[in-house]
């Protein structure tokens, strides 16, 4: 298999794995963030809209970081 096709295959496979892991991490960060804010900060009081936006941005940012990291690892890995 030519070198370019192997690199493309590694990028695609690591992208698929990274997408699945990124989605899981994003959901986990958002759920834990909501739980911590509800229990420790806001309780039953009304939440400001900025708290929801901040949690979504942090959660999706963490998922995107995992996705990009998985692709970076796929590109950097070389079969021996």
Domain that holds residue 41: 19-76
Question: Is residue 8 included in any domain, yes or no?
Answer: no
The CB density around residue 39, as the number of other CB atoms within 10 Å, is: 9
Confidence of residue 30 (pLDDT cuts 50, 70, 90): very high
The answer to whether the pTM exceeds 0.95 is no
Q: Measured at the alpha carbon of residue 55, what is the angle toward residues 49 and 60, in degrees to the nearest 5?
A: 130
CA–CA separation, 18 and 46 (whole Å): 36
Number of domains in the chain: 1
Question: Is residue 4 included in any domain, yes or no?
Answer: no
pLDDT of residue 47: 83
Question: Is residue 37 included in any domain, yes or no?
Answer: yes
Q: Is the pLDDT of residue 28 over 70?
A: yes
Question: Is residue 72 included in any domain, yes or no?
Answer: yes
Question: Is residue 3 included in any domain, yes or no?
Answer: no
Q: Is the pLDDT of residue 1 over 80?
A: no
Question: Is residue 2 included in any domain, yes or no?
Answer: no
**Residue scoring higher pLDDT (5 or 22):** 22
CA–CA separation, 70 and 23 (whole Å): 12
**Tokens representing residue 8 in the block:** 């493309």
Question: Is residue 46 included in any domain, yes or no?
Answer: yes
pLDDT of residue 80: 65
């Amino acid at each position: 298999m030519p070198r370019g096709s192997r690199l493309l295959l590694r990028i695609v496979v690591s992208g698929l794995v990274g997408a699945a892991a990124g989605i899981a991490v994003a959901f986990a960060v958002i759920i834990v963030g909501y739980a911590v804010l509800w229990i420790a900060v806001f309780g039953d009081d009304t939440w400001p809209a900025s708290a929801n936006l901040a949690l979504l941005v942090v959660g999706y940012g963490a998922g995107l970081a995992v996705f990009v990291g998985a692709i970076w690892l796929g590109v950097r890995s070389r079969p021996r």
